[in-house]
């Protein structure tokens, strides 16, 4: 099994410096890309069917193709979204700490494809080690002529900056990230115009996830057909999957796109920890719908997970076991989402705290039968199409699915006037 993203990552030794990275084929994809036309690079990435690994799952090359290439824009931006704030998600941290030059090379190629001349890594504030390693790797890349003016004598120029955020979940939404990068309040923007046309400081901008960008050098080196051959089902390539919760071996694994839930939990994570039984899982981080035992054999690709009623999201799974209260589990998530609402639109600003308070009262044994109907109403009113961005709809996904699959647990809290797990 090929693992292009993690083949040179080992935490038993320091991460590769520039010399180590080059010895193992590093920056060869950049040299190849600089000999190609920007359009051919975009076409190659589009043909590979690389979908965004940050959660949206949109074709990366198609996203790039929306950037105007008519020469009327002297400034364009390429941004790596490294603000990994989704609860249960830590895949990008591993990639940045394990092989920072892989991200940098992917960014340079991507920037060349859209003819961007300024790039940013928007890094989560808590990722101190990743920040130090990226800073050093950027300095090495400048010294070697991979960044700056006249890269490798081709006449192409690219500056790269590391920007550390202050820890806001909303910055996972790309236009809120752009506002934060401009020094403004991190709130989403109205679309259109889309960032590809009017993004950072009103200039054409592409924002891609770290894992997405790390795939680019391998696609350029090996071609789109090779990349598509790595997947097992509907989608191409490999994916960094993760499992957290009461399993024997929580962690991250690079696997073919389309591996089953059962394979991930039982073969990679070693199954449930002794004395615990599987009840459900959020397959792509906190803002995805629960999948339960009947779904264990579905393939973890975008289409299959959607057909089961959830989203692949970030591909990092949070397990719910039979010793954990589903109401308390969901309340904890809704408390997080309520705190992280940017306050821009009324349904999210007012609805999420109300949802959190209802769940808290149920967890304390103060719930009423009509509270379940209130919660269901919130899942509709805060759902897709009713808010300015996807934060509140994402927050409703674990709640609506918990009410579907674990309703009896909610009813026990209300009938017994206490949490049965305490």
* Residue range 187-232, pLDDT digits in tens: 999 999 999 999 999 999 999 999 999 999 999 999 999 999 999 9
Domain ends where: 230, 255, 282? Answer: 230
- Interaxial angle between packed helices 346-363 and 407-416, expressed in degrees from 0 to 180 and rounded to the nearest 10: 60
Task: Specify whether 366 is located in the same domain as 269.
Answer: no
DSSP letters spanning 291-343? B-GGGTTSB-SHHHHHHTTS--TTSEEEEEETTS-HHHHHHHHHHHHHHH--S
59 burial type by CB count under 10 A (0-12 exposed, 13-18 middle, 19+ buried): middle
Phi and psi at 160, nearest 5°, equal -130, 135
For the segment 6-21, the average pLDDT, to the nearest whole number, is: 95
Count of the separate structural domains present in the chain: 3
- What is the C-alpha to C-alpha distance for residues 66 and 329, in angstroms, rounded to an integer? 41
Q: Which residue has the tokens 């051919």?
A: 40
Phi, psi of 15 (to 5 degrees): -65, 160
Give start and end residues of each alpha helix (H) in 182-265.
210-222, 224-229, 261-262
At 1, is the pLDDT very low, low, confident or very high (cuts 50, 70, 90)? low
pLDDT digits (tens, 9 = 90+) for 105-163: 999 999 999 999 999 999 999 999 999 999 999 999 999 999 999 999 999 999 999 99
User: Do 80 and 198 have their domain in common?
Assistant: yes
Residue 243 lies in a domain: yes
Q: Strand 205-209 relative to strand 77-82: parallel, antiparallel, unpaired?
A: parallel
CA distance 60 to 50: 6
Domain CATH code at residue 350: 1.20.1440.230
Residues 275 and 407 both lie in one domain: no
> Distance from CA of residue 102 to its chain's centroid?
17
* pLDDT value, residue 329: 97
Who's near 399: CB < 8 A, 6+ residues apart?
330, 333, 334, 355, 359, 375, 378, 379
Whether residue 35 is found in the same domain as residue 138:
yes
Same domain, 246 and 164: no
Is 215 in the same domain as 242? Answer: no
Cβ atoms within 10 Å, residue 249: 11
200 closest CA partner among 131, 135, 118, 104: 118
> Residue 46, Cβ neighbours under 10 Å: how many?
17
In three-state secondary structure terms, 299 is: strand
User: pLDDT tens digit string along 280-313?
Assistant: 999 999 999 999 999 999 999 999 999 999 999 9
Tokens standing for residue 317: 């799974």
Q: Which of 14, 180, 193 is nearest to 97 (CA)?
A: 14
Half-sphere exposure of 300 (CA within 13 A, CB side): 32
**3-state DSSP: the chain helix, strand, coil percent, rounded to 5?**
45, 15, 40
Q: Which neighbouring-strand residues pair with 239?
A: 255
Q: Which two tokens stand for residue 46?
A: 């589009």
Q: What is the rounded distance in angstroms from the CA atom of residue 126 to the CA atom of residue 135?
A: 15
Which residue among 321, 340, 375 closes a domain?
321
pLDDT at 255: 97
Does residue 285 sit in the same domain as residue 355?
no
Alpha carbon distance 295, 282 (integer Å): 12
CA distances (Å), origin 387, targets 50, 56, 87, 104, 190: 29, 17, 21, 35, 11
The mean of the pLDDT values for the chain is 96
**pLDDT for residue 167:** 87
* CATH of residue 253: 3.10.20.600
Strand partners, 321: 278
Q: Indicate whether 73 and 163 sit together in one domain.
A: yes
Residue 288: domain span: 238-321
**Helix or strand run (H / E) with residue 363:** helix 346-363
Same domain, residue pair 62 and 199: yes
In Å, how far from its chain's centre is CA 247?
22
Task: For residue 203, give the CATH number of its domain.
Answer: 3.40.50.11540
Within a domain: residue 422?
Answer: no
Residue 421 lies in a domain: no
- b/e string for 383-400 if b means 16 or more Cβ within 10 A? eeebbbbbbbbbbbbbbb
In the β-sheet with 205-209, what is the strand arrangement from edge to edge? 159-164, 118-123, 77-82, 205-209
pLDDT of residue 379: 97
| In a domain? residue 1 | no
User: Residue 12 has which token pair?
Assistant: 């038993």
pLDDT computed for residue 421 by the predictor: 87
3-state secondary structure of 283: strand
Examine the domain organization and report whether 337 and 205 are in the same domain. Answer: no
What six digits make up the tokens of 124? 């989560």
Per-residue pLDDT tens over the stretch 320-367: 999 999 999 999 999 999 999 999 999 999 999 999 999 999 999 999
Of 164, 196, 230, the residue at which a domain comes to its end is 230
Stated pTM of the model: 0.95
- Mean pLDDT, range 264-279, rounded to an integer: 98
DSSP 52: P
Q: Does 2 map to a domain?
A: no
CA distance linking residue 213 with residue 209, whole number of Å:
6
- Tokens describing residue 372: 């379940």
């Amino acid at each position: 099994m090929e693992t292009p993203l993690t083949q040179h990552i080992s935490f038993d030794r320091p991460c590769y410096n520039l010399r180590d990275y080059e010895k193992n084929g590093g920056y060869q994809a950049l040299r190849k890309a600089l000999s190609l036309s920007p359009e051919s690079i975009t076409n190659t990435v589009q043909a590979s069917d690389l979908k965004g690994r940050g959660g949206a799952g949109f074709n990366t090359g198609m996203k790039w193709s929306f950037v105007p290439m008519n020469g009327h824009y002297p400034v364009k931006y390429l941004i790596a979204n490294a603000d990994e704030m989704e609860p249960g998600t830590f895949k990008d941290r591993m990639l940045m700490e394990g092989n920072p030059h892989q991200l940098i090379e992917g960014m340079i190629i991507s920037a060349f494809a859209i003819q961007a001349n300024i790039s940013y890594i928007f890094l989560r504030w808590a990722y101190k080690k990743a920040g130090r390693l990226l800073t050093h790797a950027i300095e090495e890349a400048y010294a070697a002529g991979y960044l700056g003016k006249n890269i490798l004598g081709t006449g192409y120029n690219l500056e790269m900056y590391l920007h550390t955020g202050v820890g806001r979940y909303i910055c996972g939404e790309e236009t809120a990230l752009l506002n934060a990068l401009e020094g403004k309040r991190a709130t989403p923007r109205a679309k259109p115009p889309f960032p590809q046309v009017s993004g950072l400081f009103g200039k054409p901008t592409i924002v891609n996830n770290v894992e997405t960008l790390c795939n680019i050098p391998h696609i350029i080196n090996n071609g789109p057909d090779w990349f598509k051959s790595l997947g097992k089902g509907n989608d191409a390539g490999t994916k960094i999957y993760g499992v957290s919760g009461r399993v024997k071996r929580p962690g991250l694994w690079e696997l073919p796109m389309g591996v089953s839930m059962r394979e991930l939990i039982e073969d990679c994570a070693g199954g449930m920890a002794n004395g615990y039984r599987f009840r459900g899982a959020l397959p792509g981080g906190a803002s995805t719908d629960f999948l339960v035992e009947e779904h264990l054999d579905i393939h973890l690709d975008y289409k299959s997970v959607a057909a089961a009623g959830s989203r692949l999201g970030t591909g990092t799974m949070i397990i719910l076991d039979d010793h954990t209260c589903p109401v308390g589990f969901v309340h904890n998530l809704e408390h997080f989402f309520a705190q992280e609402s940017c306050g821009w639109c009324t349904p999210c600003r007012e609805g999420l705290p109300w949802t959190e308070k209802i769940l808290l009262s149920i967890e304390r044994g103060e719930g009423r039968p009509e509270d379940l109907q209130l919660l269901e109403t919130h899942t509709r009113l805060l759902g897709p199409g009713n808010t300015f961005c996807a934060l509140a709809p994402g927050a409703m996904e674990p709640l609506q699915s918990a009410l579907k699959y674990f309703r009896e647990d909610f009813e026990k809290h209300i009938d017994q006037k206490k949490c049965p797990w305490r």
